[in-house]
């Protein structure tokens, strides 16, 4: 008896437990495995749809696009890489920013997307996030930034990329001085320059379960210090235990938890 061909694009294999999941079911479960609770990566548009009330999101600065400031040359040029990832993701760069209603509370929201050059922070990402933070400060809006960036600063832009760490941090300092509320949400992965700047500066820092969070990956650290790292090092659970984050929140509860926190804190 011949095996029946299974059409492509209908099923996804869980990266954690190997379970074969029907894609429609996976989407209905916010891309969480029903068997082992593994959290698949969400794109920035999917994250916006999860958190913001339908039809209320107004995107900001969508027209901003990266140039090629240092004329980067390698196996693939920066211009070619940007074009490739814009085509693959439908995004202009690795972050979406805007304003919308989260359970009827108006918020400023930024979401990085690891599909676009690993969610790394170049000039456009830094500028869009800075404008978002400044907008939240001016309009007295609570700020939520969801980070999913494994690339840190974007090497294609050299020092200009590293400058975005200071720029976003300074904007957040002014937001804090204005006594406005910032919730940072860390997802898998949140690493390097992103974690070393805006992602670690939340008044409250939430994280999804089992997310990889840190500056340098554990393999590089082990090779450098020539020691075996503790089990679970740089996971959400490890960081919660050591006081680096405030709460681990399952993806299905994230919107309701954010709603509760926004209602609890006097944001005015």
Tokens found for residue 21: 């999941």
- The DSSP secondary-structure symbol of 178 reads T
Q: Give me the number of domains the chain comprises.
A: 2
The answer to whether 113 touches 147, Cβ cutoff 8 Å, is no
Residue-number span of the structural domain to which 117 is assigned: 41-264
**Could you please report the per-residue DSSP string of 56-101?**
--EEE-TT-----TT---SSS-HHHHHHHHHHHHS-SSSEEEEEEE
pLDDT at residue 1 in the model:
42
Antiparallel, parallel or unpaired: β 20-22 and 11-13: antiparallel
- Between helix 254-264 and helix 44-51 the angle, nearest 10°, is 60
Co-location of 11 and 45 in the same domain: no
Assess whether 184 and 151 both reside in one domain.
yes
Q: Is residue 125 domain-shared with residue 45, that is, in the same domain?
A: yes
Cα dist. 47→76, 97, 116, 223, 238 in Å? 30, 11, 15, 35, 25
From first to last of its 268 residues, what are the pLDDT tens digits of the chain?
Answer: 444 555 567 888 888 888 788 888 888 788 888 888 888 888 999 999 999 999 999 999 999 988 888 898 888 899 999 999 999 999 999 999 999 999 999 999 999 999 998 888 999 999 999 999 999 999 999 999 999 887 788 889 889 999 999 999 999 999 999 999 999 999 988 888 888 889 999 999 999 998 888 787 777 777 777 778 767 677 888 889 888 899 999 999 999 999 999 988 764 4
Same-domain status, 4 and 102: no
Q: For position 233, what pLDDT does the model report?
A: 74
What is the model's pLDDT at position 143? 97
Instruction: Classify residue 103 by its DSSP letter.
Output: T
Closest CA to 258 of 201, 203, 187, 206: 206
Do residue 35 and residue 46 come from a single domain? no
Write the DSSP assignment of 125-158 as a string of letters. Answer: HHHHHHHHHHHHHHHT--EEEEEEESS-B-GGGT
What is the reported pLDDT for 268? 47
Q: Please give the angle made by the CA atoms of 191, 187 and 192, to the nearest 5 degrees.
A: 5
Regarding whether 148 and 56 lie in a shared domain, the answer is yes
Q: Do 234 and 219 belong to one domain?
A: yes
**CA-CA distance, 228 to 92, in Å (whole number)?**
40
CB within 8 Å of 211: residues ≥ 6 apart: 39, 186, 187, 188, 189, 190, 235, 236
């Amino acid at each position: 008896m011949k095996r029946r061909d299974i059409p492509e694009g209908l099923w996804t294999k869980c990266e954690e437990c190997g379970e074969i999941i029907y894609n429609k079911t996976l989407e209905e479960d916010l891309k969480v495995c029903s068997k082992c609770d593994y959290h698949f990566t969400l794109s920035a548009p999917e994250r916006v749809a999860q958190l913001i009330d339908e039809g209320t999101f107004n995107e900001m600065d969508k027209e901003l696009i990266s140039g090629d400031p240092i004329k980067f040359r390698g196996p693939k040029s920066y211009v070619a890489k940007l074009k490739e990832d814009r085509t693959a993701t439908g995004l202009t760069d690795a972050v979406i920013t805007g304003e919308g209603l989260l359970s009827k509370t108006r918020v400023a929201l930024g979401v990085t997307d690891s599909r676009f050059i690993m969610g790394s922070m170049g000039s456009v990402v830094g500028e869009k996030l800075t404008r978002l933070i400044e907008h939240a400060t001016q309009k007295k809006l609570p700020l939520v930034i969801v980070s999913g960036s494994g690339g840190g600063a974007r090497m294609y832009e050299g020092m200009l990329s590293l400058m975005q760490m200071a720029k976003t941090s300074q904007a957040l300092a002014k937001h804090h001085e204005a006594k406005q509320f910032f919730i940072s949400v860390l997802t898998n992965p949140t690493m390097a320059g992103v974690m070393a700047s805006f992602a670690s500066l939340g008044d409250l820092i939430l994280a999804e379960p089992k997310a990889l969070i840190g500056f340098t990956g554990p393999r590089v650290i082990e090779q450098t210090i020539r020691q075996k790292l503790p089990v679970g090092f740089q996971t959400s659970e490890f960081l919660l235990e050591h006081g680096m984050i405030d709460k681990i929140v399952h993806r299905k509860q994230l919107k309701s938890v954010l709603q509760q926190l926004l209602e609890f804190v006097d944001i005015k």
